[in-house]
């Protein structure tokens, strides 16, 4: 509030004979500690008739002795303006760009109410200045300004300002920039975090959720304490996930037990410790998604064993599921170790019956057809026998050259018969050794019967050459290249 008392007369250019009262309203906003913006609006109420001013023309002052009570026009032009009620306004900006210096800018204006709409009655002035603080609230002020080109008669053409403002300091013990008379915590500096920064007290937990702001990801929003990630300081609302398994509690059948996310029923939110429900925990189950068949064979590994004995015959079809089939051409589909007309041991196909030929010929007799069928089935059922040699042998009667040729031809006939029965040609070769490698030495009828034979030697299996002796020393020269 401002009061004015007359000290002059209306006949003087700077005089006024009226009382005046001017209430004003001032507001300030600080977007940061360094910047402040202010605004002011005031209204001057004049009591009595104010001075009459002539604006826009030339005049001479009134006679001080009273001969002329008003100014006298010289050029006959101008406009009379009575200086009475006036609206005043202004805005200002301040920037504290260092600890001791502040740059300011202001725009001031006034409008004489009785001359509203008259250009001379509206005055505008711009002022800039610099403050240099020597104490907390005491500063040296330098500045200057000028009336705007459209301004009225109250605005000066040019203005220079210099001054010193002194205000006794009340002190700031905690150095937070707030005077002790307004600081509620004079020994604890304000933390200036955008929350209640005017009271001068630090606020370590703005949202008062029990989580300090330094650890609180949402320092202005209190934690909802719903058991879901309550240590982060942020409310999860209705979209919580207490067990942290990425399945929201609203659809999680086990909201306090995290889903094990093992690819098995991972959507319901419950851990599945035994996916296949075979009684063996997944942590120990080699086949967690396939139930153990519990048939007494390796039941502890958790995997179903569809062929216990590994004979390529499924247990459901295997009459002997724990004993591998002997693929010898005899009942090879039943899964049992059958003793038939042959056996395969130590790289040799042992024939318990002999292939019979016509006398002095390589022609196979019809009665040996079933035996050849069995041999073919055995070879086809044992793909691990990669390459075999079909050998022909004779007894000691007859010339060597004759016996070698005859046994070679007979072995070739057997290979041909086996090819006709489905054995691939590239798996076999034939060789004849005459009487050079007898099974039983001697010249008895029994020895000769045993020595007239067809024999099959396994030369190579899946692991490579078997190392089985192909022929005796006497027959080595007859081994095919």
Q: What is the pLDDT of residues 292-311, one digit of tens each?
A: 777 777 777 778 777 777 77
User: Would you state the pLDDT for residue 318?
Assistant: 67
Place of tokens 């409310």: 235
The reported pLDDT for the residue numbered 212 is 87
**Confidence at residue 149, expressed as pLDDT on a 0 to 100 scale:** 76
**Whats the size of the chain, residue-wise?**
481
Alpha helices, H only, 233-329: none
Q: CB-based contacts of 165: which residues, under 8 Å, 6+ apart?
A: 137, 138, 139, 141
The HSE-up count of residue 237 (CA atoms within 13 Å, CB side) is 2
Residue numbers of the chain with a pLDDT score lower than 70: 8-17, 48-83, 150-151, 169-170, 227-228, 236-240, 316, 318-319, 323, 325-335, 337-340
Cα dihedral sign, 443-446-452-455? negative
Q: What are all long-range contacts of 420-426, with beta carbons under 8 Å and residues at least 24 apart? A: 421/372, 421/373, 421/376, 422/376, 422/380, 423/376, 423/379, 423/380
Q: Are strands 453-461 and 464-465 parallel, antiparallel or unpaired?
A: antiparallel
Contact 87, 110 (CB under 8 A): yes
HEC string of 110-170 equals: EEEHHHCCCHHHEEEEEEEEEEEECCCCCEEEEEEEEECCCCCCCCCCCEEEEEEECCCCC
pLDDT digits (tens, 9 = 90+) for 214-257: 888 888 888 777 766 778 888 766 566 777 777 777 777 788 77
Query: Is the pTM here over 0.75, yes or no?
Result: no
Domains in the chain with CATH codes: 2-165 (2.40.160), 342-478 (3.30.1330.60)
pLDDT attached to residue 11: 56
CA distance 271 to 263: 11
Listed residue (96, 60, 90) closest to 78, CA to CA = 60
Quick one: pLDDT at residue 69? Answer: 43
Strands (E), 12-134: 19-22, 24-29, 35-47, 52-55, 59-60, 72-73, 79-82, 86-95, 101-112, 122-133
């Amino acid at each position: 509030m401002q009061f004015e008392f007359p000290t002059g007369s209306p006949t003087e250019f700077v005089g006024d004979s009226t009382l005046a009262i001017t209430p004003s309203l001032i507001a300030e906003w600080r977007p940061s500690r360094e910047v402040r913006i202010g605004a002011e609006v005031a209204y001057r109420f004049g009591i009595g008739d104010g001075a009459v001013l002539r604006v826009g023309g030339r005049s001479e002052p009134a006679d001080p002795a009273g001969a002329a009570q008003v100014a006298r026009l010289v050029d006959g032009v101008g406009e009379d303006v009575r200086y009475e009620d006036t609206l005043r306004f202004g805005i200002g900006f301040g920037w504290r760009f260092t600890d001791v210096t502040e740059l300011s800018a202001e725009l001031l204006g006034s409008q004489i109410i009785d001359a509203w709409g008259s250009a001379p009655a509206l005055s505008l002035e711009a002022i800039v200045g610099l403050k240099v603080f020597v104490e907390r609230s005491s500063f040296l002020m330098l500045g200057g300004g000028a009336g705007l080109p459209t301004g009225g008669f109250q605005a000066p053409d040019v203005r220079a300002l210099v001054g010193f403002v002194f205000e006794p300091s009340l002190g700031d013990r905690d150095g937070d920039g707030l005077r002790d008379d307004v600081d509620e915590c004079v020994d604890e500096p304000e933390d200036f975090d955008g929350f209640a920064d005017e009271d001068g007290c630090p606020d370590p937990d703005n949202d008062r959720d029990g989580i300090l702001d330094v650890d609180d990801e949402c320092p202005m929003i209190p934690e909802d304490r719903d058991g879901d990630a309550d240590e982060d300081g942020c409310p999860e609302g209705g979209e919580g996930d207490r067990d942290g398994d990425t399945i929201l509690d609203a659809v999680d059948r086990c909201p306090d037990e995290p889903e094990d996310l093992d690819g098995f029923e991972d959507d319901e939110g419950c851990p599945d410790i035994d996916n296949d429900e075979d009684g063996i925990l997944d942590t120990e189950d080699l086949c967690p998604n396939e139930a153990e068949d519990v048939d007494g064979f390796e039941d502890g590994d958790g995997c179903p064993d569809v062929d216990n004995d590994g004979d390529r015959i499924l247990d459901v079809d295997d009459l002997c599921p724990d004993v591998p089939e002997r693929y010898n051409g005899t009942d090879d589909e039943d899964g049992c170790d059958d003793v038939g007309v042959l056996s395969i041991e130590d790289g040799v196909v042992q024939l318990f019956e002999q292939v019979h030929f016509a006398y002095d010929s390589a022609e196979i007799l019809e009665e040996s057809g079933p035996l050849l069928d069995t041999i073919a089935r055995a070879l086809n059922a044992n793909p691990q026998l990669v390459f075999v040699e079909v050998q022909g042998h004779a007894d000691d009667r007859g010339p060597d050259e004759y016996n070698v040729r005859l046994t070679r031809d007979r072995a070739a006939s057997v290979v041909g018969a086996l090819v006709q029965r489905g054995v691939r040609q590239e798996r076999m070769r034939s060789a004849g050794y005459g009487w050079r490698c007898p099974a039983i030495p001697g010249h008895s009828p029994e020895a000769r019967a045993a020595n007239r034979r067809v024999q099959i030697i396994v030369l190579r299996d899946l692991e490579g050459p078997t190392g089985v002796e192909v022929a005796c020393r006497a027959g080595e020269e007859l081994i095919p290249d």
